[in-house]
Amino acid sequence: MKKLILCLLLCFLTVLSQAQPLRVAVAANAQFVMVKLKTAFQKKTGVELETIVSASGKLTTQIQQGAPYDVFLSADVDYPQTLHKQGLTLNAPVIYAYGSLVLWTLSDLPLSADLKVLSDPAVRHVAIANPATAPYGEAAVSFLKHKKLLDQVQPKIVYGESIAQVNQYILSGAAEVGFTAKSVVLDPGLTRRGHWVDLPTTGYSPIAQGVVILKRTSLPKEARQFIEFLHSPTARRILQQFGYRAPAS
């Protein structure tokens, strides 16, 4: 009888875990690429994914406060490394891709990597993600400092909570131009919206995007499957389509 009860209990737990989606906290820069990654991963493994999108810093705070996420895809390595040092992860973070920064507008303003357009009187608002919580915002501020333009542009800056809010500022016209992730402007739904210019990666620290399995996960096997998938040829091709660079092997 005890063996039967144990068997039934194990079967119940197996069914329960299979019904529960893998909850992946995703930095806003990867919002669009995750749609394709999610489809490919589910097709390959049968594991359902649920994504939660926000700024890396906000997601880190949520995890520290006990949010029930299984995996964390950050826009940098520092945030997941902080969680690892606090004993909130099952493993040290690994880099799954490198992101890059672009300047984007829906207007006909002339864009160039020297950022001269930011001095144009027609540019009244420049959207940047909050550098305190969003690595892409930190990169944008670093690039402005590198160009010795931060003080000049500062009065025009409007900060978004994350790259997702920056995108909304640009798409709605609330900001004439904005600094966003290359992965955003390469999304098929946005490729015909305005125009953009690549910014040299020498103007800011490499945006090394880290992924980590969280300690409170109830799906460690599925979480490991997802990490392995991110390093697969299929995932690499998808990431490349969205402008990400692969880490060195």
CA end-to-end span of the chain: 52
Sign (positive or negative) of CA dihedral 223, 229, 28, 114: positive
In a domain, 249, yes or no: no
Q: Collect the ranges in the chain with pLDDT lower than 50.
A: 11-17
Number of structural domains in the chain: 2
Instruction: Note the pTM of the prediction, 2 decimals.
Output: 0.85
> Is there a domain that residue 246 lies in?
no
Q: Do 114 and 149 share a structural domain?
A: yes
Predicted pLDDT at 174: 96
Residue 9 lies in a domain: no
- Is 106 in the same domain as 199? yes
**Taking a C-beta distance cutoff of 8 angstroms, is the pair 49, 21 a contact?**
yes
> Is the domain of 107 the same as that of 191?
yes
125 and 195, same domain (yes or no): yes
The whole-angstrom separation of Cα 156 and Cα 118 is 9
Q: Which residue range(s) make up the domain with 41?
A: 21-98+206-241
- What's the confidence (pLDDT) of residue 16? 44
For residue 18, the model assigns a pLDDT of: 52
What pLDDT does residue 17 have? Answer: 46
Do 178 and 168 form a contact (C-beta atoms < 8 A)? no
Considering the domain architecture, whether residues 27 and 146 belong to the same structural domain is answered as no
